[in-house]
Amino acid sequence: MTNATNAYEQARARALNDPEGFWAEAAEDVHWYKRWDKVLDDSNPPFYRWFAGAEVNTCFNALDRHVEGGRGDQVALVYDSPLTGGRVERFTFAELADRVARFAGVLAAEGVGKGDRVIVYMPMVPESVIAMLACARIGAVHSVVFGGFASNELAVRFDDAKPKLIVTASCGIEPGRVIDYKPLVDGAFALARHKPARCIVLQRPEKPWALVSGRDLDWEDVAAAAEPHACVPVAATDPLYILYTSGTTGTPKGVVHDNGGHLVALNYSMKAVYGMDPGDIYWAASDVGWVVGHSYIVYGPLFRGCTTILYEGKPVGTPDAGAFWRVIADHGVNALFCAPTAFRAIKREDPNGALVKGYDLTRFRTLFLAGERTDPDTLGWAERILAKPVIDHWWQTETAWAIAANCVGLHTLPVKPGSPTKSAPGWDLHVVDAETKEVRAGEIGALVVKLPMPPGALPTLWNADERFVETYLTEFPGYYKTADAGYIDEDGYVYVMARTDDIINVAGHRLSTGAIEEVLAAHADVAECAVIGVADAIKGQIPVGLMVLKAGVERDPGAIIEDVVRMVRERIGPVAAFRTALVVERLPKTRSGKILRGTMQKIADAEDATPPPTIEDPAVLVEIETALHGIGYAGAGTGESPSP
């Protein structure tokens, strides 16, 4: 059992027993123009608000306070872009503050003010960070849309957020191709009912585009003529940003994060969860279009006075599977945060980790994984090749920071493979059944958070309070529904096994597809895998496995399938009814690396499987449909189990 006197256990206990005292103390570490009237305003449940009455500015806490505090010459942002021929730019806190102040002046000159919305539709370039911070500087609300989203998806966000202005770039760059952003933006203007008054365009040299007269402005021209704008105090409870959840169809779901609670929680997490101190170098290998990019490329590291890395590249192919090690070595990175899927891609290309040996990683301390479940095999592989701590943690777009983590800045607990360790301080996590009754230790149920949630978590959805309550708070009264399923063991370790819709019912037995995936991933020849539950006339559902093999594997795929079927039978039991698997070249994923299990399940069941707008390459779905068709699914069979 864990020693209850360690710093993590003390913080966790205090945050649960005295949340207002705990978060008031954490809030002392940030700059306020006006202190709060109440730490927690619980007068209108379930709409809880943190630091009610306070005034603050997010940009001031990210930049200006470090300049005023003597860190102006420290590098704040490093831009590293193998996709543009190895371009590297560095910005000190003072330089970044000046660039942001000037672009804030651009926005203000175009009539953007406190509470106005600005869409940011940008690639991974410094101007993306500058635009986000400039919005925060003047109290505008930014909504970053992942660069490359289709015109209709962008138009839907125009109509929901009603932005006064959009900031974009002429193009984005992917390995071997240029993605034309400007025509997609023009298409959104044509489709949307609400049309932003202005469009500011960063012309990239790789492919500039003609500007629309009277509407479009050239970034370089307007920035050069702008007057710097000071930080504008806003209410702590005012929105900082809206982030539309990936895969949204119809009416979008705009997750809101506020200024004050977000600032306090993110600043706290940089030390408590990640162990970062001012001057440390932090790299979140994500995209500013996702919540990870908001929390841990832009805001968290800068709040803490760390140097943050902005990487325009991939884990493999830019130029090889040593790309991450090169960035860590070149910039002296202390901590890396990325998705497990990135490491599975690296493992597939370099299964023995040979490329690591070519780089100096002496300053590198910790690898953090999140974004989807970290299977024990990937965790163990990363530990072996790096010989550094590998920390799994779990959180969501809605939470903005970790619900469960091994909080290395407080006290590092023993790692249990497959678990993101325990709930982070402030998160009152429970496992319940369909009747909201607590289940026994080790029993799978719905993972829920008792209200109120800590600072940083979403207070509501954009212009959709009723939908917020219906989506997250109605099914389990008194709790926030994470929509993840899992269990908590006798030691308090959390296991996130699957989304609740990835729990399958095999002949009356509730099984986690994540548990079966764990077995498949442990096979020596498997690089990554997915398990889906498909309809079966007799058992209700049965699991089907899809596997991508490591590079260089020459064994007969049939023999590998026989291996994994036997392994599942041995480790989970005959109750899993796992008899069917197939080897594929690749799995369908979103651009953030999440495997589209639900889409594959619909294909297998011959249902409408319209790909989400976040899909990386829709052509993969055709490959998956062909493979499933070959074993009797995807509308080819009778609905009964095909012969193994």
Q: pLDDT at residue 524 above 50? A: yes
- Report the C-alpha gap between 237 and 257 in whole angstroms: 9
Least confident among 36-45, 444-453, 512-521: 512-521
Average pLDDT, integer, range 15-25: 98
Residues 472 and 515 in one domain: no
**What is the pLDDT at residue 501?**
63
Q: pLDDT at residue 421 above 80? A: yes
Residues 549 and 479 in one domain: no
Residue by residue, DSSP assigns 314-375 as -SSSSSSTTHHHHHHHHHT-SEEEE-HHHHHHHHHH-TT-GGGGGS--TT--EEEE-SS---
Closest listed residue to residue 302, CA positions, set 332, 335, 328, 270: 270
- 413 is a domain residue: yes
Residue by residue, DSSP assigns 461-514 as BTT-HHHHIIIIISSSTTEEEEEEEEEE-TTS-EEEEEEGGGEEEETTEEEEHH
Q: pLDDT at residue 1 above 70? A: no
**What is the pLDDT at residue 2?**
46
Residue 617 confidence class, pLDDT cut points 50, 70, 90: confident
- 388 versus 246: the higher-pLDDT residue is 388
- 349 is a domain residue: no
- 400 is a domain residue: yes
Note the pLDDT tens digit of each residue in 319-347.
999 999 999 999 999 999 998 889 988 99
Residues 56 and 181 in one domain: yes
Domain region containing 242: 7-313+393-487
**What is the pLDDT at residue 371?**
82
- The CATH number linked to 513 is 3.30.300.30
- 502 versus 280: the higher-pLDDT residue is 280
**What is the pLDDT at residue 476?**
97
Which are the contacts of 440, defined by CB distance < 8 A and separation ≥ 6?
none
**What is the pLDDT at residue 148?**
79
- Report the C-alpha gap between 219 and 275 in whole angstroms: 37
- The CATH number linked to 23 is 3.40.50.12780
Q: pLDDT at residue 411 above 70? A: yes
Residues 589 and 448 in one domain: no
Note the pLDDT tens digit of each residue in 57-105.
999 999 999 999 999 999 999 999 999 999 999 999 999 999 999 999 9
Residues 482 and 511 in one domain: no
- 635 is a domain residue: no
**The two three-digit tokens of residue 70, written as one number:** 């003597």
Note the pLDDT tens digit of each residue in 186-239.
999 999 999 999 999 999 999 999 999 999 999 999 999 999 999 999 999 999
- 409 is a domain residue: yes
- 579 versus 211: the higher-pLDDT residue is 211
Give the chain's domain count: 2
- 597 is a domain residue: yes
Residues 456 and 535 in one domain: no
**The two three-digit tokens of residue 164, written as one number:** 């006064």
**What's the chain's length in residues?**
644
Residues 273 and 125 in one domain: yes
Q: pLDDT at residue 547 above 60? A: yes
Quickly tell me which residue has 């943690």 as its tokens: 393
Average pLDDT, integer, range 375-388: 92
Residues 206 and 297 in one domain: yes
Residues 478 and 516 in one domain: no
**What is the pLDDT at residue 442?**
94
**The two three-digit tokens of residue 160, written as one number:** 């929901």
Which are the contacts of 545, defined by CB distance < 8 A and separation ≥ 6?
516, 517, 520, 529, 530, 531, 564, 578, 580, 581, 582
Residues 291 and 411 in one domain: yes
Q: pLDDT at residue 508 above 70? A: no
Q: pLDDT at residue 146 above 90? A: no
**What is the pLDDT at residue 432?**
97
- 497 is a domain residue: no
- 568 is a domain residue: yes
User: Over the chain, what is the mean pLDDT?
Assistant: 92
Residues 176 and 51 in one domain: yes
**What is the pLDDT at residue 643?**
32
Q: pLDDT at residue 637 above 50? A: no
Least confident among 52-66, 365-379, 413-427: 365-379
Q: Helices then strands (H, E): number in the chain?
A: 20, 31
Residues 564 and 424 in one domain: no
Average pLDDT, integer, range 475-489: 96
Question: Percentage of residues in the chain with pLDDT exceeding 90?
Answer: 78
- Report the C-alpha gap between 139 and 130 in whole angstroms: 14
538 class by beta-carbon count within 10 Å (0-12 exposed, 13-18 middle, 19+ buried): exposed
- Report the C-alpha gap between 188 and 192 in whole angstroms: 6
Q: Which of 425, 459, 487 is the last residue in one of the domains?
A: 487
Whole-prediction pTM: 0.85
- Report the C-alpha gap between 234 and 314 in whole angstroms: 37
**The two three-digit tokens of residue 628, written as one number:** 């499933």
Note the pLDDT tens digit of each residue in 235-278.
999 999 999 985 334 567 899 999 999 999 999 999 999 999 99
